[in-house]
Structure 1
Amino acid sequence: MYGGIPEKKLTEKDMRLNCQSIRDEFEKEINIEHQRINVDSAKKKAVLYHHDYEGFRQMVLGANLYSIKSKELANFGFNETNNEKIFNSSYQKQQQPSQEEIKQLQINIKEIQCKNFRDFRTLFSKHYNKPLSQDNYAELMNILQMQSEENIKKIFSVDFHIEYFFKILEVFDYSISILKDGKELSFMIGFLGELVKIKDFIQQIKKFLKKQEKEELREFFGKLKQSLTMEYQQIELNELIHKKYDELIIQYL
């Protein structure tokens, strides 16, 4: 007896691994980690955009929302049980930020924003390790997403080292190929679009890339286009995002 519960000998069946239960547990942990990353990213973006408290709260509450196709919208909510509604309500309450959290995030974001390439190199290198993992991927994406247009101009001008551009592409490729996360595609297109506006940067791309680097760049854009095609199936979005993609191809390749 242990704690009033009769002991039971383990059988061969008890010792046998259940692949389905392991798979379910693994997927659950991945979902929890994705939610954590989404909420953390939403908090930082909200502070960066200078939202008030309510705007901050709404961004955090919507951190794990996904777009819904029109044909799915008609049935939305009909299959949700009362337990699921209670859980979702409780989950949202837990995500509401405090004023102290906002102040701390403002400090954290200020530390992440880089004034020049040297600052960027130091911060980026701190989290860049091969092979990339989901943890350092999240940190690196946060670093990139927290840079304003003005920061980007300062980072990618004059003394910028082109090798760090390819490290950034590795981070993007991890999202596309490993995580298969379509939510970051619009950010990637926007970020790459900001870079081509910088004269010093685009000159390095046009004039000083090695043959292997050009091939790597071409391969990345091939993967990016494939992901865009899969993610943006609505005609209007598809035309818009591919127009931006085609403009980037002209600049980069």
Structure 2
Amino acid sequence: MLAVFERSIANPPKELSLPVGRNHLNSSPEEIAEIFRSWRSDSTFYNLSSGNFLALSHRDENPAHPRCIIVMDDIFCIFSGALYNTCDLRRHYGLSRQATEAMIIIEAYKVLRDRAPYPPDQVVKELEGKFAFILFDSKTSTLFLARDRDGCVQLHWGTAADGSLVCTDDPNVISAACGKCYTPFPPGCIFISGNGLISFDHPLNKVRGIPREDEEGNISAVIFQVDLFTRLHSIPRSGSAANWANATVVEGE
């Protein structure tokens, strides 16, 4: 799976753009699309406005972690993996027995967006299984990413040459697309447009990108981890789409 979204939508953490190593040439979104097409001839592309796009391929798919994409009510969701509590989730969201994992994710997102009865971290925490998903709401231009707490399903993110956010489960694709400006998406975390990166086990602590340097002082890697010394505080929400993405902010900012 692959997704590329311009900076105005995704606003990736600044640490993703740090030059790691000596060679950090990254590609344009157009070049990234061609890389994916050339390596995965079975891929299906979903082209959106302003050059944003999602793509899905079943090549080299792990049978235990199948990939799928669902489009409902102008919401796109690419899901990889498996949920173990689908029956409970279908009942909770009033869905039929035919509802897939991706449909459940979309319905959970719609409840958050429209009624916001509880924070996003609580919703993702209730997903039992091994998974990673990329969701985009084209009506509100909201991007929603998540990965299970054990990191059982691969998900990497980085930046393109123009600063766009690149997300994929293929380490070869992310390396070719982003040069050295990428890192694994942190397990147990969610990323939401306008809200940033949140740990769903430690939602009141900020998640920071920590540069690691080699013996020569060059950045060799960027690792995202929970900062237990920086607290966040919640903002009361009325449930509208406009304020849903702003569920938490850094205290004092």
TM-score (norm 2): 0.28
Q: Which structure is higher in helix share? A: 1
The alignment's TM-score, normalised by the length of structure 1, stands at 0.28
**Bigger fraction of residues in strand:** 2
